[in-house]
Chain A
C-alpha cells in the first residue's frame, strides 16, 4: 500500500489506462500466445489461438481488469502468420515477444508493411539489441516497448536500474534514453524476473525503486521465475501446480506497486484476471481510504 510523491505517468492505450499511483487503474495483464510447446503446429495454433484471445477478452470484460495479447515469435518463418492472426483477432494494441534480434527486425518490417507499428508494444528492448536493430527501430518505431532491466553483470536492483538509466557497464547508453531517441511513445519498464538463486527477490524490490526513479509504468513477468524453478521439473507444464503458482506470484509485484504483468500462458486468463481483480480491488480500497487516490471509473473497485 504505497503512494509516490513523484508524479506517475499514465498511458492511454485506446480504452486501457495503465500507470499512475498504485490503486488508481486496474493492472494491465498480458497473456502470452504461441509460446514453446503450446500447440503441435501452425494448423492447431490457427484453429485454437483465436478462441484463447477471445477468452482473455471475456475475462477482461467480466472483471474490468485490462488485458492485451502477447504474441511469442521464435523464427522468421513464423512472423507473417502470427502477426496476421494477431491483427485479425485483437483490437488495438498487442505485444510482440521476440527473443532474437534478427527476428525482431523482420517483425518491424512486416508491421510496417501492414501499417500496424502504431498497434504494437515491442517486447523487448534489452541488452541484446544490435546496432542494425537500433537503426531499423529508428526508421520504424513501434508505438510502445518493454524496456527490460536485465543486467547479467549485476542483477541487484541497482544493476537493473543502471541498464535502464545509463546502460551499466554493458551498453553505451541506457534503454530509456535509447527508447526516447528511437521515438517510442509508450515506455514500459520491466524489472526483469530472474531465477531463484539469481536474486529473484530483486525483481520485486526494483518495482518501487523504478516507480520512484522514473515515474513510468513498471511491471514484470515473474511466472518465468516459477517456470525455471528446478524442483518443479517433475511436473508437466500443463499441470495445475504451474497455473496456481504462476497466478499467485503475480500478486507480489502488484502489491509492490507494479502497473502491468506478463502472466504467462494465455490459457491462464482465468484464474489470472479474476485473481488480479481481487488484488486490484483491495489495493484500490487502501489507496482511496488512506491516500485519497481517485480510483478510475473502469476499475473492479467500482464494478465488481
Chain B
C-alpha cells in the first residue's frame, strides 16, 4: 500500500492487509481493527465519494466496499456510490443513474475512477444498522480472501487555476481601491 492514505477525512484505520473497507454513511460504527482496513461515515455524494475513492486506491489490498447504515437524506450518497461503481460517470463528471442531489466527480481523473471500479466490489447493506449483520458481511468478505489488486495508486486531486476575467474597482477609502477579487491598491494607480 501507499505509505499514507492520501486524503484527509473522518475515518479510522485498521489492518492495512484486510480486503475490506466499510462506509457507514450517516452512522458511526466501530470495527475490529484486525478485520477492516478503513471505515467511517460518508456524507456527501460528490466530495465524500472522492475521498473514499482516493483512500481506497492507495491500498490495493482493499477489494470490497461494504456500504451500510442509514442513507444520508437528501444527498443519497450510499445509492450514489453504488451507482458510480456500477455505472461510472458521464463526460461532464455526472455519476450515471445516481439519485443524489449533486452527484458529480470532478477532482479525480477518469483513470482513477476506472481503477477504483475495477478494484472493488460492493457489499450492499444500505440501510442495515445491525452490527451482527454487518460483521457477518465482513466475515464473508474476509472468507473470500481475494488477492491484492497490485501496486498502490495515488489519486492526484485535479485543481483548476483561478484567473480574473473582468476588472472592476470600487472604493475602500479615498486613497485606496479594492478590486472585487480583494486586491487592494492605491487609488492613483487606477
Chain A residues with a Cβ under 8 A of chain B: 1-6, 36, 74-75, 98-102, 126-128, 150, 152-154, 156-159, 169-170, 195, 197-198, 205, 208-209, 211-213, 228, 230, 233
- Chain B residues, Cβ within 8 Å of A159: 160, 162
Given A152-B105, A209-B181, 7 further pairs, Cβ under 8 A: A2-B170, A128-B102, A152-B46, A153-B106, A154-B106, A169-B92, A209-B180
Contact partner, B10, options A100, A169, A230, Cβ 8 Å:
A230
Docked complex Cα distance between A169 and B76 (Å) = 24
Contact partner, B170, options A75, A99, A212, A233, Cβ 8 Å:
A212
- Residues B162 and A156 in contact, CB atoms below 8 Å apart: yes
Minimum distance in angstroms from B75 CB to a CB of chain A? 7
Contact partner, B180, options A3, A153, A208, Cβ 8 Å:
A208
Pick 18 A–B contacts, CB within 8 A, sort by A: A1-B172, A74-B74, A99-B73, A99-B74, A102-B99, A126-B101, A126-B102, A127-B104, A128-B100, A152-B47, A152-B102, A152-B104, A158-B164, A169-B92, A170-B92, A195-B47, A208-B170, A212-B168
| B4 beta carbon closer than 8 Å to chain A | no
- Residues B163 and A6 in contact, CB atoms below 8 Å apart: no
| B93 beta carbon closer than 8 Å to chain A | yes
- Residues B165 and A158 in contact, CB atoms below 8 Å apart: yes
Instruction: Give the nearest-CB partner of A36 in chain B.
Output: B73
Minimum distance in angstroms from A258 CB to a CB of chain B? 13
Docked complex Cα distance between A44 and B17 (Å) = 47
Docked complex Cα distance between A74 and B99 (Å) = 13
Instruction: Give the nearest-CB partner of B50 in chain A.
Output: A152
| B107 beta carbon closer than 8 Å to chain A | yes
Docked complex Cα distance between A132 and B76 (Å) = 19
- Chain A residues, Cβ within 8 Å of B181: 157, 205, 209
Docked complex Cα distance between A66 and B183 (Å) = 32
A99-B74, A198-B47, A208-B180 known; A152 and B166 CB under 8 Å? no
| B171 beta carbon closer than 8 Å to chain A | yes
Docked complex Cα distance between A205 and B75 (Å) = 26
- Residues A157 and B102 in contact, CB atoms below 8 Å apart: no
Of B10, B73, B94, B180, the most chain A CB neighbours within 10 A belong to B180
| B19 beta carbon closer than 8 Å to chain A | no
| B150 beta carbon closer than 8 Å to chain A | no
- Residues A100 and B76 in contact, CB atoms below 8 Å apart: yes
Docked complex Cα distance between A98 and B75 (Å) = 10
Docked complex Cα distance between A1 and B107 (Å) = 36
Docked complex Cα distance between A209 and B163 (Å) = 13
Docked complex Cα distance between A89 and B94 (Å) = 39
Docked complex Cα distance between A233 and B102 (Å) = 24
A152-B104, A213-B180 known; A233 and B10 CB under 8 Å? yes
- Residues B104 and A170 in contact, CB atoms below 8 Å apart: yes
Docked complex Cα distance between A198 and B47 (Å) = 9
Instruction: Give the nearest-CB partner of B73 in chain A.
Output: A74
Instruction: Give the nearest-CB partner of A102 in chain B.
Output: B99
- Residues B168 and A5 in contact, CB atoms below 8 Å apart: yes
